[in-house]
Amino acid sequence: MRRFLVKRARTENMNDVQPEVELEKRTENVNDAQPEIGVEQPAPSVANEFNPNAIERDPGKRKQICEYPPNIQDQVRRAYILKGPMQPDVQKYHRTEFGSSRSSRAFSKSWYKSYEWIEYSEWKNAAYCFYCFLFKQPGRAEHFGYEVFTKEGFTDWKHASKGFKDHIGGHGSKHNSCVKHSDDYNNQRQSVASTLARASKESEEMYKIRLTCSVSCSRYLMAQGLAFRGHDESATSLNKGNFREMIDLEKTKNEQVRDAFDRGGRNCTMTSGDIQKELAMCCAHEVSKKIMAELGDKQFSVLIDESRDISVKEQMAVMLRFLNDEGKVVERFLALHHVKDTTSNSLKDALYGILDHYKLSISRIRGQGYDGASNMRGEFNGLQKKIIDENPYAFYVHCYAHRLQLVVVSVASSCSSIHDFFEYISLIVTTTTTSCKRRDALIEAQHQDILDRLESGEISTGRGLHQSSTLPRPGDTRWGSHHTTLLRLDQMWSSVLKVHSTVDEYGRGPSQAAGLIEKMESFKFAFILKLMLKLFGITNELSKVLQRKDLNIVLAMELVNDVKARLETFRESGWDNLFGDVQEFCGANSILVPNMDEVIPVRGRSRREGRMVTNLHHYRAEIFYVAIDKICVEMDHRFSEGANCVLDCFSCLDPKDSFSKFNVDKLARLAEIYHEDFSNDDRGTIREQLLTYISQVKRHASFSTCDDVQSLAMKMVETKKNLVFPLVYKLIELALILPVSTASVERAFSAMKIIKNKLRSKINNEWFNDLMICYTERALFKLVDDKDIIRTFTTMKSRRGHLPRDFL
């Protein structure tokens, strides 16, 4: 028996060895007296590598533990223990008919609380035992339910209570034996290996210092989006990478840390690449736990977009939009997933896999927010259609910011004069910024112009004013880029002309700079510049508001209607002011203003045809009216939610003007549309609750300050009205979680470019996702306690070192 225990201890110790390579020869230290194995094991083969994030969560689909290779079975158990039992919160469980009476029964969510070990498979509509799956002995199925609750699945819902109790059995049952195995397995101190390799208190304290220091360094690097590894991490390297360099910095500043690393076990230094990845995984796990705790059992919307990273991999970002306990809309980053192709079926499978990983049911989705790509918004085969087919309450909303950008792009080519204008803009930007020398000349000219204007008193000084800038290139996919380019050109007008004059004078050969100067100093160019600045100024304000995280669909619709009204007003009475601004600009810049009554040929026609119009008709009818009519038509076409019944009903929740839009019939209609969220009793009583609600909030002074649905929800939570009127608050929640734009996903892609750059282009997908979660959700990451990270790290797998008993 003693020989068997010693052999088993050696086997466990060999499996626990960290794959760290230490070049230095082991020196005498406190841990050398311990019977630890000092020989490093070779790296595992590719076939036996294990990814904890790739395990199958559904009990009906997963492999049995004994089917995995023996050398990774321990890691598989740890991965499942870390994630816990699969207990999805399904909105409506599948019902099964029993007996000749055709009565139907279904799985009950309340069993999760009564039996912590129970798992549910949506794929098989069956129940399983978590502990028996992890620790059952292969080939021993004589006990009731031993195989049923691990392989086949329990489906006799009619006799479920008796079946569960029979499976648990008495004190010495197989189920209770597996539960005891689980408790012993989680207590690493009680293992045979730990008993034989008992660490001293001093070595435990040193291990705690090393681990805590590694966690602190990892947290800093992840929060800043910095790289971990270095090209040469050997002891003689001048740059070992950020992680090891930070460890060395801590060692120079803290003698206790230096002593813990220098005297600690060489095979347990907690600095290897695998340790760094595991720490990142633990940090991401804790951030995700906070997101799931914040979400709870609430409904949510999904925001999805794809983008290519620096290594030419298509990455799909997924975010959740929901209402927190304070009544505030939040958007949280869920995952970044590499997809091999962007077909709707591939995106659907990837989304379902991510939701399944976090135990989120498809039935809880109440909104979808994507861009206008055909694979996303396709009416027949798009991702939104495939999800709606399974969940008809997951209403799709085309990103408002993308739609507005499509309006801007269409206006930029609304007529031939405006189209040519933007062609000249591209040439001006290219000529001015095509080389470093020209860019420097532009900045210097702008600097001198600002100094001259400050001396003349034309402008004043102030913090953040008159910053050095250049001409950005307008892009069809960059929100607000057209307005930014025109605004910079207007501000840097004299500097741009000076650079063009320099290029024409000192260029090696003929250039287009002289011709561009003639175009810029023409009245038509100045007129279209001021017209586009006015139109894009109106849409740019809306574009910035649409990128807010807390914007709701009701407010977005109202803002769009305000923009439409402003455009109509500008068309009716904006000509005189615009023409006056153009004349003032031309006078200040020595541009000749033509006689508006002068006759000129119709644009695109020869003088020989004799088709003539006045300058006034050309600029007013052929440019001014055409541009405004085009943008108004595009706004009506792109933003046509007025005919949408759901959004029209949600607009009745707007608290402005003392709830002037409130309509009981339309709001009661929402309870019929969202049939699954309201019971028959709810639909019968919602009208009376709505009438009582509107009567109270109109008399309540604090609700008079609410200016949108978001502030209304927060005020209801603050005054506890959400508990008094739960059905009304449910309607408000459904209105707020509907997505407006995918700006948050676009910000995630900006973070992706920071984390994965040219020097980090080979980072693997799992580590990349962990880093993205921590970096994107930095606010939540800062709230995570180091002890929670260390606790997860310790539970993940068996470790050679042990922490002091009172540390966790």
- For 161-199, how does the pLDDT look when each residue is reduced to its tens digit (9 = 90+)? 888 888 888 888 888 888 888 888 777 655 544 544 455
At 642 the pLDDT is 56
Which of the two residues, 562 and 142, has the higher pLDDT score? 562
CA–CA gap between residue 114 and residue 132 (Å, rounded): 17
**Is 721 in contact with 729 (CB distance < 8 Å)?**
yes
Least confident of 236-250, 466-480, 535-549, 772-786: 466-480
pLDDT at 44 exceeding the cut of 90: no
Q: Higher confidence at residue 173 or residue 617?
A: 617
Whether pTM exceeds 0.85: no
Q: What is the pLDDT of residue 34?
A: 39
Write the DSSP symbol of residue 188: G
CA 680 – CA 670 distance, rounded (Å) = 13
**Using one digit for the tens of pLDDT, what is the confidence trace for 744-800?**
999 999 999 999 999 899 999 999 999 999 999 999 999 999 999 999 999 888 888
Here the tokens at position 556 are: 């977005």
Helix (H) or strand (E) holding 303: strand 300-308
Q: How far, in Å, CA of 663 to CA of 653, rounded? A: 8
Residue 151 CA to residue 130 CA, distance in Å, equals 11
Half-sphere exposure of 117 (CA within 13 A, CB side): 21
Q: Following CA atoms 169, 170, 171, 173 in sequence, which dihedral angle do they give, to the nearest 10 degrees?
A: -50
How crowded is residue 324: how many other Cβ atoms within 10 Å of its Cβ?
14
Neighbours of 198 (CB within 10 A): 11
Looking at the chain, how many residues does it have?
A: 808
Could you report the per-residue pLDDT of 698-709, keeping only the tens digit for each? 998 899 999 899
386: helix, coil or strand? helix
CA distances from 379 to 344, 364, 373, 386 (A): 12, 22, 11, 9
Higher-scoring residue by pLDDT: 30, 308: 308
pLDDT of residue 321: 96
Per-residue pLDDT at 249: 94
User: What's the mean per-residue pLDDT of the chain?
Assistant: 87
pLDDT of residue 641: 67
Q: What are the beta bridge partners of residue 367? A: 301, 395
pLDDT at residue 141 is higher than 80: no
Q: Kindly report which listed range (32-46, 303-317, 438-452, 624-638) carries the lowest average pLDDT score.
A: 32-46
**Phi/psi of residue 96, nearest 5 degrees:** -120, 135
Distance CA(290)–CA(364), nearest Å, equals: 19
| Range 260-269 average pLDDT | 82
Q: Identify the pLDDT of residue 26.
A: 36
Task: Band the pLDDT of 20: cuts 50, 70, 90.
Answer: very low
Q: What's the pLDDT score for residue 451?
A: 84
β-strand partners of 306: 316
Q: Quote the DSSP letter at residue 151.
A: I
pLDDT score of 28 more than 50: no
126-129/118-121 β-pairing: antiparallel
Residue 24 has pLDDT above 80, yes or no: no
Say which residue the tokens 């921590």 belong to: 774
How many C-alpha atoms does 563 have within 13 Å on its Cβ side?
28
C-alpha triplet 510, 512, 516: angle, nearest 5°: 145
Average pLDDT over residues 432-439: 89
pLDDT at 101: 63
Q: How confident is the model at residue 49 (pLDDT cuts 50, 70, 90)?
A: low
Whether 488 and 400 have beta carbons less than 8 Å apart is answered as no
Q: Give one DSSP letter per residue of 609-662, joined into a string.
A: GT-EEEHHHHHIIIIIHHHHHHHHHHHHHH--GGG-HHHHHHGGG--HHHHTT-
pLDDT at res. 31: 40
> Which residues does 166 contact at the CB level (< 8 Å), separation at least 6?
144, 145
Mean predicted confidence (pLDDT) in 286-311? 95
The region, left, alpha or beta by phi > 0 then psi within -120 to 50, assigned to residue 27 is: beta
